[in-house]
Amino acid sequence: MTNRLGSLKGPVRRAIERVLERAEGPLSREEIAQRCGHTSDDVGRALSAMINVGDCYTDGRRRPARYTAEPPTQKAPTVSQPRAWDFHAAPNYVPKELRPFDGRPGAMDAYGLPSLVNGQRIARCAA
């Protein structure tokens, strides 16, 4: 019995594999240690090694993690539905705060003059 790395499996690892094969569902590290008769530290080291080579899987939770011999089933991706936007529902908004300033007569006359860029006069675009 060798794993994918070619090394022999130790007694702790073989015991964990037997426990996970017989289990009805995911088990915690303490449950695995009780069922296989090894210490929790030995079981934890073996489980970490098994996860690295893909012989064991977790449920994705950090603490307390649950271990299983089968990979977790992935949910089928769903296609999201595009939102239905009604662009004509609201009336057209004309922002008064963005209009040219008309508080003083002649305050906006400077915008009619050409700009000076690099010593050259350039006409402004009418917006």
Question: Is residue 49's pLDDT more than 50?
Answer: yes
In this prediction, residue 57 carries a pLDDT of: 75
Sign of the dihedral through C-alpha 36, 42, 44, 46: negative
Q: Which CATH number applies to 11-68?
A: 1.10.10.10
At residue 104, the pLDDT reads 82
pLDDT digits 0-9 by tens, 1-47: 444 544 567 888 888 888 888 888 888 888 888 888 888 888 888 88
Annotate 19-35 with DSSP letters as a single string. Answer: HHHH-SS-B-HHHHHHH
Domain boundaries defined on the chain: 11-68
Q: What are 123's two structure tokens?
A: 């006409």
Q: How many whole angstroms separate alpha carbon 37 and alpha carbon 4?
A: 25
pLDDT at 112: 84
Token reading at 6: 């070619």
Q: Which residue do the tokens 């019995």 mark?
A: 1
pTM value surpassing 0.85: no
When pLDDT is averaged across residues 60-83 and rounded to a whole number, the result is 71
